[in-house]
Amino acid sequence: MAKPLIVCRDLSIIYNKGKSNEFKALSNVNTDIYEGEYIILFGASGSGKSTLMYAIQGSLPPGSGTLLIRGDDIYSYPPDERVYFQRYVMGIIFQSFNLIPSLSVLDNVALPMIFCNADKTTRERRAQSLLDRFGVGHVSHKIPAMLSGGQQQRVSVSRSMVNDPKILLADEPTGNLDSVSTQQVMDKIDEINTFDRRTIIMVSHNAAHLSYAHRVYYLKDGLIVREVVNPQRKQIKPVREGETIVTELEQLARIYPYDSVEMLRVKSMVNYLTQEFTYRQLIRLEHAIGLFISGKLDKDHFIKSLILPYEKGGVEIDEKTAREMAHRAERMIEQADDIRRFRARKENQNIFFSQHHLAERLRDHLLHSYRIKLTKEQDEHLIEMIADRVTGVIEEDQFNERLMQSVRSGGLGLTEAEADDMTRYFEKVIAQGVDVSYKS
Ligand code: ADP
Ligand code: MG
């Protein structure tokens, strides 16, 4: 099995050690990052994301613990070797671009190559081809100040790639950009991961970015509080079964390890729609629901097959129940499509607008199912919770807790029974919309 490219073991970083303003910015951090992975370090401002990134980059030595890159302790390298490492193994992009204002765009990109043996023409040709690739080739002779923020950031993406690094680090690279430029920069970084197969470590506090990553490390107050696997991407790091229970589907996958994702969805739906049927009926129902979920049976035919007598191949349910069932299943499938869209990479032109919009729609569905009237404040909290749950920022338990928490502390103030009900329902919807992460 492949070894991880970057290993942190009980890594702690202390600023101003021994002084009165000593500050522990990271405590006992453990990470394993594999070659080719796209990792996001996610968390509120001040949680230690940049600190971890600069430790990996070779400019912040561990206070305690170990940090190994390709099996080496980079902090034990002699100075020239460390510089070589930072120049040829790591590429870096900053929030504030960090371009040299007095140099042309072309010279900015060519500059990091000055220490290698290539002659000026070769350097400029390589710089120009990168600028072309990232869509800023036509402004290569301008100075950075004449470019838009989005263009400047694409110049720094070009610069970060000029020495063909193995690992690309990006510290909130879209923090200063509008949403269109953000999308362009995110797409380019995604391309560097999927096409060039470079390892990406990105610092972000924007939940809309999470869908790009293979995995997300959530930081809080200098600790890694959670690691979440993105079920939409085929994993590189070996994921142990049961390690990432984030959805009901994954729980079902543990009970029925040989079932397909489609079958697990069927089971989840059957379990939702019925408790009171016989085993024979359940088998028939699974079959009918399987066809309905996959779109092979439309709603009318689905209802017919539910009503049909058992001898004739039906489930033999009374018409009223059958209609009600079809209606509920149909609504859940619609909502699951929203979950899928929410998590989909690239599908939406403007991920920020549409994710918020989808979260609002999911809220509407939920409220429609539960007929609860919310104040404006509760409403905002619910949208935030929905987005957090769908992106994996919070787990099922926390979603449930937040529903019960007081409105003042960011919750919804529901009773336990209401919260349990709503959580159960929403987990079902997620199960329909999200795949099982270790079955890729
Ligand atoms: P993030 O990138 O998540 O916003 P940082 O890694 O920059 O957080 O900072 C983590 C904590 O360490 C913050 O509380 C910050 O104030 C503190 N910190 C960062 N840099 C220094 C420094 N050079 N000296 C002292 N404290 C620092
Ligand atoms: Mg930071």
User: Which ligand lies nearest the alpha carbon of 14?
Assistant: 1
User: Which ligand lies nearest the alpha carbon of 95?
Assistant: 2
**Residue whose pair of structure tokens reads 């009374």 in the numeric block:** 318
pLDDT of residue 241: 53
Cα separation, 66 vs 336, in Å, equals: 43
Please say whether the beta carbons of 82 and 58 come within 8 A.
yes
Domain with CATH 3.40.50.300 in the chain: 6-229
For the domain bounded by 6-229, which CATH number is listed? 3.40.50.300
Q: Tell me the pLDDT of the chain (440 aa) as tens digits.
A: 578 999 999 999 999 999 999 999 999 999 999 999 999 999 888 999 999 999 999 999 999 999 999 999 999 999 889 988 998 999 999 999 999 999 999 999 999 998 877 899 999 999 999 999 999 999 999 999 999 999 999 999 999 999 999 999 999 999 999 888 998 999 999 999 999 999 999 998 777 788 789 988 989 899 998 787 777 788 888 776 545 545 666 666 666 666 677 777 777 777 767 666 776 777 788 889 889 988 899 999 999 999 999 888 888 888 998 998 899 888 888 888 877 777 665 555 445 556 778 888 888 888 887 777 889 999 999 998 988 888 777 888 899 999 999 999 999 999 998 898 889 888 888 877 766 554 43
CA nearest neighbour of 388 among 421, 343, 437: 343
Mutate to test the pocket of ligand 1, among 14, 16, 21, 23 (most ligand atoms within 8 A of CB): 23
CA of 31 to the centre of ligand 1 (A): 19
The string over 273-298, giving b where at least 16 C-beta atoms fall within 10 Å of a residue's C-beta and e elsewhere, is bbeebeeebeebbbebbbbbbeeebe
Cα separation, 177 vs 125, in Å, equals: 28
Closest residue by CA, ligand 1 atom 27:
15
Closest approach atom of ligand 1 to CA 44 = 3
Ligand 1: lining residues by beta carbon, under 6 Å: 15-16, 23, 25, 43, 45-51
Note the pTM of the prediction, 2 decimals: 0.74
Please say whether the beta carbons of 270 and 428 come within 8 A.
no
pLDDT of residue 245: 46
DSSP-derived secondary structure letter, 13? E
Rounded to 5 degrees, what angle do the CA atoms 302, 304, 306 make?
70
User: Which ligand lies nearest the alpha carbon of 224?
Assistant: 1
pLDDT of residue 357: 80
Q: CA 26, 30, 36, 41: dihedral to nearest 10 degrees?
A: -40
Give phi and psi for 6, each to the nearest 5: -130, 125
Please say whether the beta carbons of 162 and 109 come within 8 A.
yes
CA of 360 to the centre of ligand 2 (A): 30
CA of 93 to the centre of ligand 2 (A): 12
